[in-house]
Amino acid sequence: MRINSFSTGFIEIPGQISMNIFTQGCSIKCKKCHNPELQNFNDGIEFDWAAFDKNLQPVEFSPWICWLGGEPTEHLNDLRQFNKNLKKLGYFIALYSGRTFEELQDLKILDDLDLIKTGRYDGYSVQNPKTTQRFYYRNYADYKNCSWVTCNYENLECDINRFIIDKNKG
């Protein structure tokens, strides 16, 4: 998997702190791409996931990992494998993707995710009510059916708190 950078995130998961991982490479080509420097598949560095994986500790301080890009699902096999390992260590996993929810379903990448931001970038930030991008979070209150709930950014902090309570109950 090619990586551009890591950062600590304070806004991607409202009310939570996340470790953000920016992947390199994207073929979606949204008209108003806000990260054009992350489109080129040859930039960034090839990350030694085996070493990272070996040194990753079970969750203690911030339980959220957030994938962004670029388009993280361009590295599908690595993403699936890494998410499985993160899940075993107790992390919550978020994915910021330019794909639609249905496209992500077709890619069979939803299994280990807890929160998703979907949709092509349309020039509006996720905080802007005009955006067509949507958030989905896993409905742990209905864990058996593995269903998802959609919401906009405005309601996300409150929904995430409820989601964490439901997850802990389960």
- What is the binding site for ligand SF4 (CB under 6 A)? 26, 28-30, 33-35, 38-39, 69-71, 98, 120-121
> Which residue's beta carbon is nearest to the bound ligand SF4?
98
The verdict on whether omega for the bond into residue 70 sits within 30 degrees of 0, i.e. cis, is: yes
Q: Least CB distance from residue 148 to ligand SF4, whole Å?
A: 20
Q: How far is the CB of 126 from ligand SF4 (least distance, A)?
A: 12
Q: For residues 1 and 163, which CB has a smaller minimum distance to ligand SF4 in the complex?
A: 1
Q: Closer CB to ligand SF4, residue 120 or residue 167?
A: 120
Select 120 or 162, whichever has its Cβ closest to ligand SF4: 120
Residue 97 or residue 140: which is nearer to ligand SF4 going by CB? 97
Q: How far apart are the first and last CA of the chain?
A: 33
Beta strand ranges found along 47-162 (DSSP E):
64-68, 92-96, 115-118, 134-138, 148-151
Cβ-based nearer residue to ligand SF4, 85 or 131? 131
Q: Let me know: does 29 contact 39? Beta carbons within 8 Å.
A: yes
- List C-alpha distances in Å: 79 to 72, 84, 125: 7, 9, 25
Cβ of residue 33: shortest distance to ligand SF4, in angstroms? 3
Residue 68 CB, nearest approach to ligand SF4 (Å):
8
Alpha-helix runs per DSSP H in 15-140: 49-55, 76-88, 101-106
Positive/negative CA dihedral, 169, 137, 104, 82 = negative
